[in-house]
Structure formats: structure tokens, C-alpha cells
Amino acid sequence: MTNLNLKILFVALLSGIALVLGGCQSLNNKTDDSLYQQLGEREGIANVVEDLLYLIVDDDRINQQFKGMDVAQFHHNLTDQLCELSGGPCTYTGREMRELHSDMAITNTQFNALAENLILAMEQNDIPTGAQNRLIKQLLPLYPDIRNL
């Protein structure tokens, strides 16, 4: 094989790689809303949050922390937040998480109680296990803000 042929082959290979990479890039750029879909879009998420609120009210480990809050506002904000985190077309407009929880001195016991109630609320709404796990994974970065660590 001549040098020229090698060059052409090399260029062709590079172009091929570039095309493949470019294709992947554009695929990645498209927003992945599969989790949002699995959660039943905004309506499904709103139902989970509603059931979560009922569970919180009944839970003596944490209901004191929610005393005096605006329930409708909380429902709206948390629904927006979960919608946004799951790749849905919403924007969380509530206060910044660390600032919001800074005076609450939330313990690990209370954080676990809330996590448990969220899982139970998702189960009540027949959210598949995989979607539950993916949503919790999205929520993990909020842990240090909520615990004020």
C-alpha cells in the first residue's frame, strides 16, 4: 500500500470516529426525561408529594419540623423541584436548600424518616423500583445542604 493510500485510509478513519463521537454528543445533549416519564410527569410527581405530605403529618419523628408551614406552597415547590431533578420541564422557584434548612438542625434520624416516607409515597403510587432509585440518586447531592453539614 502506498503512502497516499495510507493517508486516505487514516483520514477516512478519523472522519468516521469524528462522526460517531459527534453523533453520541448530540444524543447526550438531548435532555433525558425518561425518569420524568417513569414518575408519571408532573401530575404523577404531584400525587407522590401529596401522599408524602400525609405520611409526614402522621410521623412523630418529623412532623414538628413542618409545623406552621404553608402546605400548598410546600406541595408546589417540592413538586417543581422533583420535576426539575427528574429532567422535566419545571423550574424550582423556592428558597435555596441550605438557607432553607439552616436553622432546623435536622438530624440523621429525621432525614432517614423523610427518605422512608418518600419511598413509601412512591410505592403507594406504583413508581417502579428503578425509577425510585434514580430519583433518590438525583436527591443525594441535597443531603449536606439539608443536614447543614
Partner 1 sequence: MTIRRLVTLTMALLVAPAGMADIGSRIWATGGVTTIEGSAGGGLVPWALLGSYASDEEWGGTVALSRAEVDDYSLSVTGAGLNWNNRLEITVARQTLDLDSLVFTLKDGFGLEQDELNQDIFGAKIRLAGDVLYSPWGQWSAGVQYKRQRDFTVPSAIGARDDSGTDVYVSGSKLFFAAVMERNLLVNLTARATRANQGGLLGFGGDRNNSHELMMEGSVGLFLNRQWLVGAEYRQKPDNLGFATEDDWWDLFLAWVPDRRLAVTGALVNLGDVATLEDQQGLYLSLQGSF
CA angle 108, 112, 115 (to 5 degrees): 140
For partner 1, which is the closer residue by CB, 61 or 98? 61
Q: Does 145 bind partner 1 (CB under 8 A)?
A: no
Q: Looking at residues 7 to 46 of the shown chain, list those that interact with partner 1 (rule: CB under 8 A).
A: none
Structural contact between residues 65 and 110, judged by C-beta atoms closer than 8 angstroms: yes
The piece of 1-9, 42-50, 73-81, 109-117 that touches partner 1 (CB under 8 A) is 109-117
105 Rama sector, left if φ>0, alpha if ψ -120 to 50, beta otherwise: left
Q: Which three cell numbers stand for residue 57?
A: 403529618
Note whether 148 and 105 are within 8 A (CB).
yes
Answer yes or no whether residue 55 interacts with partner 1 by CB under 8 A: no
Shortest Cβ distance from residue 17 to partner 1 (Å)?
29
What number of other Cβ atoms are within 10 A of residue 97's Cβ? 17
Contacts with partner 1, 113-132, as mask; x by CB under 8 A: x-xx--x---------xxx-
Contact set with partner 1 (CB under 8 A): 61, 107-113, 115-116, 119, 129-131, 133-134, 136-137, 140, 143
